[in-house]
Structure 1
Amino acid sequence: MKLKHILAGLLVATSFSSCSDDFLDKQPLSEITAETFFNTASDLQLYTNGFYRMWPSTSIYNGESSTDNIIQTELSEEMRGARLVPTTGGGWNWGYLRDINFFLQEYEKSDDEAAKSHYGGVARFFRARFYFDKFQRFGALPWYDAPIAPDDTEALTKPRDSRQYVVDKMLEDLDWAIENLNEEQNTYEVTKYTALALKSRIGLYEGTYEKYRGIDGFEKYLEASVAASAALIEDSPYQIYSTGSPEQDYLELFNSHDANETEVILARAYSEDLNIGHNVNYYTTTSSYGRPGMPKDLVNSYLNADGTRFTDAAGYNQISFTEEIQNRDPRLAQTIRTPGYTRKGQSIELAPNLGATVTGYQIIKYVTEPVYDTNGQSITDLPIYRFAEVLLNYAEAKAELGTLSQEDLDNSINSLRQRVGMPDLIMDAANATPDPFMAAQYPDVTGVNAGVILEIRRERRIELYMENFRWDDVVRWKAGQTLTQPIRGLYFSGPGEYDLTGDGSINVVLYEGDRPANPISGIQYYKLGSDFTLDENGLIDPHPDFNGRSFDENKDYLYPIPRIELQLNPNLEQNPGWK
């Protein structure tokens, strides 16, 4: 059995991780006592295996479908501005922290120094990861670095620590982990490189969060991101995966059953043998499960293949599908169905299935052979930390600090562009003529590096599409108003016959009134005003009855703390605007 199957099995079989959502005073791992455990390397490994259950389980798109990256039949509460204060739950679950802190309290009794160093690092990595997930959702939190007794009222009613204090403690944990974790490359287990990747992510998040809110001292977090990213760039086994096939390398990176160890630093393993799957094939190919689609504004942001801006052309928003996807950044055709698309392992060219996508732009990232189309049966490994993200973090942090050079771009962003045969990003040219299309999305980006920062944001949204970054990026950039912009899809001139594959054959018919008599097999028929609505410009409007979306700048960047938690701990304060 392959290593990934063994590791996946461990995550399913281990009973040493809490799946409970109890708060901090729950009993730690009831079958384990400090007197009989934590003595050997095997004990430490077995206990820390349970922490891997913090990874995503069956869904790989939740963080995208709550934003403007993936549009579905129903808009998320975040997109509708419809979140409410929950009574319980709401993400305020602390069981894993209790387990991590219990381990860190007890593991030193082992005599195996090498095991203590490594698994102590694993635990500290997961504590930083745990806090970062909560921190992104709720902001400042009470920091706990030891288990809490059920009768420790002072600890259980502790107020929040400052935002900077919590971030500094996360980085402190990661620095310890980086110093002590094993350096061996391992795609499915935490190593020194994983801790560096998380430090790169946290530093960029907090540095930009503070910068775009005018908080003093943001620079140190951007510098932490730069340092961690540079360590991975200069001294790690990772690089951008490329076989010299720009028309397929990006797609194959994500539709491979096994994570690509060249670029993927850490992945969540899925296994057909163990019946551990997710649902991306079913989600993107069926007409009964959300009908996800890429929005037109994102399609528009992909550059032309020669590096020029698609949105500089007159009438760019009303171009037929076969025209608008010609000679574009090859990642577009490797992320959505375009002419020439075939399913993995097949040779039949397929048009976009408009019944499976509300925007007409049908997603293919992670999609594999049709045999895995049943719900919950997809087995492509989920990348959690990828070298491409580190390169993007590095370039953005340096640009925001004002220390970015062309050499830095060549060592980061341009590696991503070269994989798909795109021209290099030239810093001076980007800053000389910032893209007005991108600037309209992010009006807060100003200064001498505005042009290159906008280009880095373009690269980030495209390269990391469907990898659960968009919401957090919008939050840290203080760019919530981007989520209120009109959502549109494919352009059609009106009722009629359409060729979406470019082969001269009709594959879509849009009609009004009665369905055409004697429909032809293999052609998709959709009634305008019923199956699809076109706006005044001929663009699909997937939500014609809901265009009055709002984003409250005073509250919507954070989630509310559940009411019961505020009652249990009167020293907690609700997030602003949620009272």
Structure 2
Amino acid sequence: MKKILFYISISLLIIPASSCRKGFLDRAPLDAISDANFWTTEEQLTLALKALYANVKNNNTVAMDQMGDNSINSSTSDAYRIFGSGNFDPDLSSVNAEWVSQYSGIRQCNVFLANYEKATTVPQAIKDQMAGEARTIRAYMYMNLVSYFGDLPLVTTPLKIDELYGPRNTKKEIIDFILKELEEAAAQMQKEPQTKTNLGRFSKGVALGFKARMALYDSRWDVAEKAAKDVMDLGVYALYSTGKPAVDYYNLFTYAGKLSAGANKETIAARINLTDVSMHNISRETQVPDQASRYNPTKALVDAYLCTDGLPIEQSPLYKEDTYANLFVNRDPRMRQTILAPGAAWGGKKDGNPANTNAGIFTAPKFVSDKLGCVTITGYYFTKYVEVSTVAAVSKDQNDIHVLRLAEILLTYAEAKLEQNTLTQADVDLTINKLRDRVGMKKMDIAELAAAGLDLRTEIRRERRVELAREGQRWYDIIRWKQGSLLAADVKGMKKSLATVPSQVSNLAADANGYIIVMTGRQFVDPKHYLFPVPLTQIQRNPALAPQNPGW
């Protein structure tokens, strides 16, 4: 079998063949394959399989965090900002786009799975591996759909793009299918970690990890616990650490943490990005030097980080809010490696004065657009997922997008144990405290939490929020925890009194305590907003999808 890197980006499907290995892209799209002899060789199966990987979300994984309360886009037309606000109707085109894109990918997987066995000369072990990958990708797309829409048509055979799907299966039936499919896919695949010859390809750990995620989302705690432990017991993944607690967490999301660099054994599934092959624009959009940032951390996220004594800011004597810089002092080290702190390197300063040698060092937030620096609407900027060297260029970012990593698996295991009332200090040490050790944060101690009057469930959930910030998990967590009221709250930023240039914030709205009000008028109606509406366009095309989801 040829050793070919699996660069899983949609751009791969459209770049010229001359920019990669000869013949790599010299093919018709999967949807257009009509040659009865296509499904005969390993190379043909490989080409067909590669097309499926374009359905794994890339930079959308980062943008999806803006559906929750961790981040907000400066653009009021951003789809994820609209989703999070609750102010949309079933005819919103972005809702339909989610439905169509996922079912289109599912159809591609169905085509592959209906045909791969025709390659009778290909060793069965190779075909099984490929089928496991296709089944895992299909299950991943169903995970997205069921989380958004609940009841869905379950389609497992090839249908034409314009063919009606029939009535909806129940949410339980869909999730039962996903869990069974991932378990069987895991049995088909190798457990090998990412190597330079299989970058981007799914393995046993991916299927088991997605199974743990789906079970957690559906409160199937025993299933989530076992699947997470199965991943942990594979023995092929380890937290990324070079012994530098001040930077290791940050570096995981930069070029240093790319799978192709070889040092990262933590990431289980990722969208791979390489020079002039597949690149994105996240670093620039985060700290764009002449515009407003597309990704603005919220006060709610900033406040979530504990102080170094292990206490929330509301309780810790270490917390001070007298200056902007002091917000970052004595805080969980992941805060500085996620939220940009004064003194850190950044790319958001556009300075026409060549004598200013400190243009690359962040000092204070900027609220007024003059084309000379990145504007924030909350007073905060992200540094996580920012490769500073690429901010100045457009769409030249090669950071891998981490879809699933060991940290999430550890957090899933801890939460699943907690919800079954079986969580012990040994479990915390095996999971959460490994994450804290990486950054040099005080360990979580169950007895100490109780003595301080802190709720263990709240702290387990806090840990998930700060560790996985900007990784697309927050909205799903809010929904499954039935905390929809958080999405109805005003989005706020820093206290106006901390602004270096008071005149820049003087006209900004603020609450009674002086915190910037970035967005108001959000809503969350229970049970309506715990699901998206079935797209109006889809119901018009297929009346069997009715009735509409509750409240819509």
Identify the TM-score tier after normalising by the shorter chain.
0.7 to 0.9
For 1:227, the equivalent position in structure 2 comes to 226
For 1:134, the equivalent position in structure 2 comes to 145
How far 1:427 sits from its partner (Å)? 2.2
For 2:382, the equivalent position in structure 1 comes to 363
Tell me, what secondary structure is at the counterpart of 1:141? coil
For 2:527, the equivalent position in structure 1 comes to 554
1:65-102 Cα deviation digits (max 9, x unpaired): 22211123355223432111117624221222222112
Tell me, what secondary structure is at the counterpart of 1:571? helix
For 1:540, the equivalent position in structure 2 comes to 516
Q: 1:247 to 1:41 in 2, by over 3 A?
A: same
For 1:417, the equivalent position in structure 2 comes to 436
For 1:98, the equivalent position in structure 2 comes to 107
For 2:136, the equivalent position in structure 1 comes to 125
Given candidates 416, 425, 432, the residue that maps to 1:397 is 416
**d(CA) in 2 for partners of 1:236 and 1:176?**
20
The residue correspondences of 1:474-493 to structure 2 (distance < 5 A) are 474-493=478-497
1:80-132 Cα deviation digits (max 9, x unpaired): 32111117624221222222112211212223211221111111111111111
Tell me, what secondary structure is at the counterpart of 2:469? coil
1:528 lines up with 2:532 in the alignment: no
Q: Which moves more between the two structures, 196-205 or 76-85?
A: 76-85
For 1:188, the equivalent position in structure 2 comes to 200
Q: 1:550 to 1:149 in 2, by over 3 A?
A: closer
**d(CA) in 1 for partners of 2:28 and 2:327?**
50
**d(CA) in 1 for partners of 2:85 and 2:381?**
23
Given candidates 502, 505, 510, the residue that maps to 2:502 is 510
How far 1:158 sits from its partner (Å)? 2.5
**d(CA) in 2 for partners of 1:151 and 1:52?**
22
How far 1:527 sits from its partner (Å)? 5.1
How far 1:10 sits from its partner (Å)? 5.1
Q: 1:185 to 1:275 in 2, by over 3 A?
A: closer
Tell me, what secondary structure is at the counterpart of 1:127? helix
For 2:353, the equivalent position in structure 1 comes to none
Given candidates 300, 304, 328, the residue that maps to 1:301 is 304
For 1:145, the equivalent position in structure 2 comes to 156
The residue correspondences of 1:114-513 to structure 2 (distance < 5 A) are 114-148=125-159, 156=164, 158-186=166-194, 187-207=199-219, 221-256=220-255, 258-259=258-259, 261-274=264-277, 276-286=279-289, 288-313=291-316, 318-343=321-346, 348-355=360-367, 356-431=375-450, 433-435=452-454, 451-493=455-497, 508-511=500-503
**d(CA) in 2 for partners of 1:565 and 1:317?**
52
Q: 1:564 to 1:6 in 2, by over 3 A?
A: closer
Contact 2:39-2:119 at 8 Å conserved across structures: yes
**d(CA) in 1 for partners of 2:238 and 2:413?**
14
Q: 1:290 to 1:555 in 2, by over 3 A?
A: farther
Q: 1:103 to 1:230 in 2, by over 3 A?
A: same
Letter of the 1:102 partner, please give it. Answer: V
Contact 2:58-2:401 at 8 Å conserved across structures: no
**d(CA) in 1 for partners of 2:323 and 2:162?**
67
How many pairs are equivalent? 505
For 1:86, the equivalent position in structure 2 comes to 91
How far 1:373 sits from its partner (Å)? 2.8
For 1:77, the equivalent position in structure 2 comes to 82
**d(CA) in 2 for partners of 1:15 and 1:454?**
53
How far 1:296 sits from its partner (Å)? 1.6
Residue segments in structure 2 that go unaligned for 5+ positions in a row = 16-24, 348-356, 368-374
How far 1:352 sits from its partner (Å)? 3.5
**d(CA) in 2 for partners of 1:285 and 1:456?**
34
**d(CA) in 1 for partners of 2:39 and 2:306?**
55
Letter of the 2:71 partner, please give it. Answer: I
**d(CA) in 2 for partners of 1:165 and 1:363?**
39
Q: 1:81 to 1:341 in 2, by over 3 A?
A: same
How far 1:327 sits from its partner (Å)? 1.1
Contact 1:157-1:568 at 8 Å conserved across structures: no
For 1:108, the equivalent position in structure 2 comes to 117
Q: 1:54 to 1:289 in 2, by over 3 A?
A: farther
Q: 1:305 to 1:316 in 2, by over 3 A?
A: closer
**d(CA) in 2 for partners of 1:175 and 1:58?**
27
Letter of the 1:31 partner, please give it. Answer: I
Contact 2:212-2:227 at 8 Å conserved across structures: yes
**d(CA) in 1 for partners of 2:289 and 2:480?**
34
Identity %: 30
RMSD: 2.8
Contact 2:286-2:381 at 8 Å conserved across structures: no
Contact 2:153-2:165 at 8 Å conserved across structures: no
Contact 2:190-2:203 at 8 Å conserved across structures: yes
For 2:21, the equivalent position in structure 1 comes to none
Q: 1:457 to 1:567 in 2, by over 3 A?
A: same
Tell me, what secondary structure is at the counterpart of 1:142? coil
How far 1:264 sits from its partner (Å)? 0.9
Q: 1:92 to 1:486 in 2, by over 3 A?
A: closer
Tell me, what secondary structure is at the counterpart of 2:403? strand
For 2:370, the equivalent position in structure 1 comes to none
TM-score, structure 2 length as denominator? 0.84
How far 1:343 sits from its partner (Å)? 3.6
Tell me, what secondary structure is at the counterpart of 2:159? coil
Q: 1:39 to 1:551 in 2, by over 3 A?
A: same
Q: Which moves more between the two structures, 455-464 or 368-377?
A: 368-377
Contact 2:494-2:516 at 8 Å conserved across structures: yes
Contact 1:352-1:362 at 8 Å conserved across structures: no
Tell me, what secondary structure is at the counterpart of 1:332? coil
How far 1:533 sits from its partner (Å)? 3.9
